[in-house]
Amino acid sequence: MRTFQVETVAQTEFEEAAAFYEGKRDGLGLEFVDEVQRVLLRISQRPSFPTAPIAQVEGGVIRREFVDRFPYVVVFVETDELRKVIMIRRGSSSPARWRSRI
């Protein structure tokens, strides 16, 4: 089984987004947290992904998973040994943002 990690910057983005949604409506931040947690669990436990990677990197690929109900994506690096979340951002974010984190 691969090691699973969430980069500190991605965790911070996640927490800031949850606070933003909670400020919009009581309970909405918790709903966002639940949806992102589902994605993180899927990334950590799924043996393989049927979708094509969004980029190739030395020793692995970059993949993204969409968050249900919210316009967010979770971007992660996948190698034979590791899946590392590098970004939890709005889906409209520029690819340059995640490329700078590799």
pLDDT band at 91 (very low <50, low <70, confident <90, very high): confident
Q: 3-99, which class in CATH? A: alpha beta
Predicted local confidence at residue 101, as pLDDT: 64
Q: Which two tokens stand for residue 25?
A: 């409506």
Q: Are 93 and 85 in contact (CB under 8 A)?
A: no
For the chain, the domains span 3-99
Task: Determine if residue 66 is left, alpha or beta; phi over 0 gives left, psi from -120 to 50 gives alpha, anything else beta.
Answer: beta
Cα–Cα–Cα angle for 43, 92, 5, rounded to 5 degrees: 25
pLDDT surpassing 70 at residue 99: no
**Prediction pTM value:** 0.90
pLDDT of residue 92: 75
Task: List the beta strands (DSSP E) in 1-102.
Answer: 3-6, 55-57, 60-66, 72-79, 82-90
The string of pLDDT tens digits covering residues 6-55 is: 999 999 999 999 999 999 999 999 999 999 999 999 999 999 998 889 99
pLDDT digits (tens, 9 = 90+) for 70-86: 999 999 999 999 999 99
